[in-house]
């Protein structure tokens, strides 16, 4: 019987059997940031353990940093302490750090691929749930907790058990203005936030093959939102072309050998998945979440559902609570709902392609009065490119704030927050209660949808506005 | 050794999809220490805007003070990977969580801190919630025999991964356990360096 891509990568990383069904797997790349690493270094110090492979660990500062000013102090005293702790821990252990002042600093899941640290066939971990992003390159990439960060620092390995496999096939061609963000929201809507629990999801099908690496990263980024341990996509020519020439990618000397290996990374035709889901990509419409978890999502032209329409009583109750938190009523059209804040950014949608899509909608228009809109590029590289392409000027001319790279308003942990009761069209990945600030109301959308909402001051169906922009 | 892994008062939290942002909001994640998170547990539900305790929230009800077993529903611990979530739950006083299902990362993080997480069918979870509505419950958890002892000779069996069970029972330092495989790690690294030198 054939093997799935996940099984191939898993097996090639088994260092040994720990006990029963638990294997010790080798970790190729370990990414760390300021929030989930300090206790791990403290633990190492306490136990007198060194970092085994500082050369395979890379650090950045993103969560707790200000994107308004480049300063350790800007997001408060405790944040400064965390940033300083990371800098000291990296210096002490010889770990490469892209600190706040480094030109390529950015969100950990944006810079990993950008620097070529993320490569097909790898096992990549980070103390952050959206590590699933890196699966877009055909790597097993998943988030871990701080105890596991300590374990990886000490041993460069992690105890694991084989996960179940889920195949998500997205067939057909996407309509104009339907983006990878809409695809993953539709998939989560169909499978539910726990639909992937215990599984590693492999995305395939024509709609996926046609996606750029940026789009594939958006897709895999949110696979954690359906509970999947990881999401991955078999590498192909698009993947190889993206990686070639990046600073930490294989050099010319090893390039052909690396590509030859990467070409062996696919699920065999007779591989058995534990679960298979098919979705017709041509039927997907631009999506907007209406509730407080990502499965509470509708197409922009659908009415907000009535709690009674859910046959599952617990889902009905969750819908009732979500509507009350979100200040929405069943049957309402989101195209009648005004927004206060628009946030374009986060590890889901802060890459150059996302900014191009948003800028295409914004070009020559102005942000509606009373709306606060910001664009936060995912990294220094994205920022420089967007400035060179004139996208930054487009945003600024329209009335958007143009920021330094970082997580910003995705999580309300730095100096950017959505106030209580305010409604935000956000390109991030979580619409949980209070995620963007206590009492904040988040609607997840694609960059084009967010840009359109900023201009209109309310949600609009981006596929119905004709301004010559293409998706 | 007693077969009872834990025992105590049960607090019913009747919600699905409790995410780690709810378990511990981000403003508490700026700490560089592992301690001091008990007060932050379920912060936005537990306290009103003026800082006083929210009387409507189950954790604040007088009959649940001192609870050490948390009963909840599906997909508990979804969202962010923050280990601060199990730290806060444990430091508040819970050592066992019973739910229909748990998010993967949260599950591992909890086990790594020595907490026992028990998954049961939706029907059994309903049964336990109904029971807890009859009045405060004191349950015992027999991990060796994989049973929740509800009192009056009533018990509910549960399944648990054998490796996880062994780890909880032996309380083993998991880094230390992996370090026993150091020679294999050395060998793996050597083979990796020669077969795929670009990986470093
Ligand atoms: S952008 Fe948001 S989801 Fe992504 S790493 Fe930062 S805080 Fe986490």
What tens digit of pLDDT does each residue of A38-92 get? Answer: 999 999 999 999 999 999 999 999 998 999 999 888 878 888 999 999 999 999 9
Q: Is the pTM of this model over 0.90?
A: yes
Count A/B contacts: CB-CB distance under 8 Å.
Answer: 180
**Residues of chain A with C-beta less than 8 angstroms from the C-beta of B125:** none
Encoded tokens for A350: 């802060």
Going by pLDDT thresholds of 50, 70 and 90, the confidence category of residue A471 is very low
Q: What pLDDT shows up at residue A199?
A: 97
Report the C-alpha gap between B110 and A34 in whole angstroms.
21
Report the C-alpha gap between B129 and B110 in whole angstroms.
22
CA atoms lying within 13 Å on the CB side of residue A294 = 32
CA–centroid distance, residue A303 to ligand 1 (Å): 29
> Which of B102, B104, B200 is facing A55, going by the closest CB pair?
B200
Which of A255, A409, A432 has the most B C-beta neighbours within 10 Å, making it the best mutation to test the interface with B? Answer: A432
Going by pLDDT thresholds of 50, 70 and 90, the confidence category of residue A334 is very high
Report the C-alpha gap between B62 and A230 in whole angstroms.
41
Which of A146, A244, A409 has the most B C-beta neighbours within 10 Å, making it the best mutation to test the interface with B? Answer: A146
- Contacts for A220 with CB less than 8 Å, ≥ 6 apart: A132, A133, A134, A135, A136, A141, A203, A230, A231, A232, A233
**Residues of chain A with C-beta less than 8 angstroms from the C-beta of B159:** none
pLDDT digits (tens, 9 = 90+) for A316-329: 999 999 999 999 99
**Residues of chain A with C-beta less than 8 angstroms from the C-beta of B107:** none
The neighbouring-strand residues paired with B147 are: B142, B157
**Length in residues, chain B:** 200
Query: Min CA distance, B153 vs chain A (Å)?
Result: 30
Q: Classify the complex by whether its ipTM is higher than 0.85, answering yes or no.
A: yes
Measured between alpha carbons, how far apart are the two ends of chain B, in Å? Answer: 47
**Residues of chain A with C-beta less than 8 angstroms from the C-beta of B44:** 433-434, 438
CA–centroid distance, residue A268 to ligand 1 (Å): 34
Assess contact for B200 and A56: CB atoms under 8 A: yes
Q: Write out residues with Cβ below 6 Å of ligand 1.
A: A 62-63, 107, 109, 128, 130, 346-347, 407, 410-411, 428-429
Matching residue, tokens 């407080």: A292
Helix (DSSP H) and strand (DSSP E) numbers for chain A: 15, 19
* Average pLDDT of span B5-29: 94
Q: Is A81 on the interface with B (CB under 8 A)?
A: yes
Mean pLDDT of chain A: 96
B158 pLDDT higher than 90: yes
Which residue of A408, A416, A428, A440 sits with most ligand 1 atoms within 8 Å of its CB, as the best mutation to test the pocket? A428
Strand A29-32 relative to strand A123-126: parallel, antiparallel, unpaired? parallel
Q: What pLDDT shows up at residue A466?
A: 59
Report the C-alpha gap between B17 and B75 in whole angstroms.
5
Report the C-alpha gap between B18 and B101 in whole angstroms.
11
Q: What pLDDT shows up at residue A58?
A: 98
A468 pLDDT higher than 50: no
Report the C-alpha gap between A225 and A313 in whole angstroms.
22
Ligand 1 atom nearest to A109, measured from its CA: 5
**Residues of chain B with C-beta less than 8 angstroms from the C-beta of A197:** 75, 101-104
Q: What pLDDT shows up at residue A469?
A: 42
- Name the helix (H) or strand (E) containing A140: strand A140-143
- Contacts for A402 with CB less than 8 Å, ≥ 6 apart: A374, A375, A392, A395, A396
Assess contact for A177 and A278: CB atoms under 8 A: no
Q: What pLDDT shows up at residue A470?
A: 40
> Which of B74, B175, B184 is facing A154, going by the closest CB pair?
B175
**Binary contact (B161, A143; C-beta < 8 A):** no
pLDDT digits (tens, 9 = 90+) for A96-121: 999 999 999 999 999 999 999 999 99
């Amino acid at each position: 019987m054939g093997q799935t891509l996940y099984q191939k990568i898993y097996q090639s990383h088994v260092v040994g059997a720990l006990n029963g069904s638990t294997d010790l797997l080798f970790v190729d790349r370990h990414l760390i940031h300021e929030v989930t690493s300090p206790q791990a270094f403290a633990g190492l110090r306490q136990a007198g353990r060194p970092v085994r492979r500082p050369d395979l660990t890379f650090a950045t500062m993103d969560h707790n940093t200000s994107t308004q000013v480049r300063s350790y102090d800007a997001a408060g005293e405790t944040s400064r302490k965390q940033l300083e702790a990371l800098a000291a821990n990296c210096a002490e252990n010889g770990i490469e750090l892209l600190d706040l002042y480094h030109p390529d600093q950015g969100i950990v899941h944006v810079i990993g691929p950008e620097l070529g640290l993320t490569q097909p066939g790898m096992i990549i971990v980070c103390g952050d749930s959206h590590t699933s992003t890196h699966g877009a390159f055909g790597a097993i990439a998943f988030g871990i907790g701080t105890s596991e960060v300590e374990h990886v620092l000490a041993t460069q390995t992690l105890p694991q058990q084989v996960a179940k496999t889920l195949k998500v096939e997205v067939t057909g061609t996407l309509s104009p203005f339907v983006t990878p963000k809409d695809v993953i929201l539709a998939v989560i809507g169909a499978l539910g936030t726990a639909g992937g629990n215990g599984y590693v999801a492999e995305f395939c099908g024509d709609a996926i093959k046609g996606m750029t690496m940026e789009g594939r990263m958006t897709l895999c980024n949110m696979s954690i939102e359906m509970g999947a341990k990881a999401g991955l996509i078999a590498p192909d020519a698009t993947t190889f072309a993206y990686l070639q020439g990046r600073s930490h990618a294989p050099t010319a000397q090893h390039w052909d050998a690396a590509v030859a290996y990467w070409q062996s990374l696919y699920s065999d035709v007779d591989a058995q998945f534990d679960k298979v889901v098919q979705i017709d990509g041509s039927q997907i419409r631009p999506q907007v979440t209406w509730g407080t978890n990502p499965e509470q999502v509708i197409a922009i032209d659908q009415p907000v559902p009535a709690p009674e329409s859910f046959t599952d009583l617990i889902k009905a109750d969750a819908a009732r609570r979500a509507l009350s938190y979100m200040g929405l009523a069943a049957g309402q059209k989101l195209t009648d709902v005004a927004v206060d804040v628009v946030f374009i950014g986060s590890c889901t949608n802060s890459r150059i392609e996302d900014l191009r899509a948003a800028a295409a909608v914004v070009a020559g228009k102005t942000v509606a009065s009373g709306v606060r809109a910001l664009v936060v590029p995912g990294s220094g590289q994205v920022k420089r490119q967007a400035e060179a392409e004139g996208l930054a000027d487009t945003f600024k001319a329209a009335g958007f704030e143009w920021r330094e790279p970082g997580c910003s308003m995705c999580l309300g942990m730095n100096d950017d927050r959505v106030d209580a009761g305010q409604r935000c069209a956000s390109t991030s990945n979580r619409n949980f209660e209070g995620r963007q600030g206590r009492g904040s109301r988040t609607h997840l959308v694609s960059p084009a949808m967010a840009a359109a909402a900023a201009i209109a001051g309310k949600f609009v169906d981006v596929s119905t506005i004709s301004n010559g922009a293409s998706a | 050794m007693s077969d009872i892994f834990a025992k105590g008062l049960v607090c019913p939290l009747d919600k699905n999809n409790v995410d780690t942002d709810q378990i511990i909001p981000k403003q508490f994640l700026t700490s560089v220490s592992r301690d001091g998170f008990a007060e932050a547990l379920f912060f936005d539900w537990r306290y009103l805007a003026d800082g006083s305790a929210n009387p409507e929230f189950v954790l604040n009800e007088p009959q649940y003070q001192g609870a050490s077993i948390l009963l909840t529903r599906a997909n508990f611990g979804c969202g962010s990977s923050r280990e601060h979530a199990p730290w806060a739950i444990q430091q508040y006083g819970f050592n066992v969580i019973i739910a229909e299902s748990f998010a993967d990362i949260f599950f591992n993080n909890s086990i790594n801190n020595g907490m026992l997480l028990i998954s049961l069918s939706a029907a059994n979870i309903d049964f336990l919630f109904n029971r807890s509505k009859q009045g405060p419950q004191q349950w015992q958890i027999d991990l060796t025999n994989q049973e929740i002892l509800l009192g009056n000779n009533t018990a509910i069996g549960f399944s648990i991964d054998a490796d996880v069970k062994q780890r909880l029972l032996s309380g083993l330092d998991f880094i230390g356990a992996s370090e026993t495989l150091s020679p294999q790690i050395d060998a793996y690294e050597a083979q990796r360096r020669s077969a795929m030198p670009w990986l470093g």
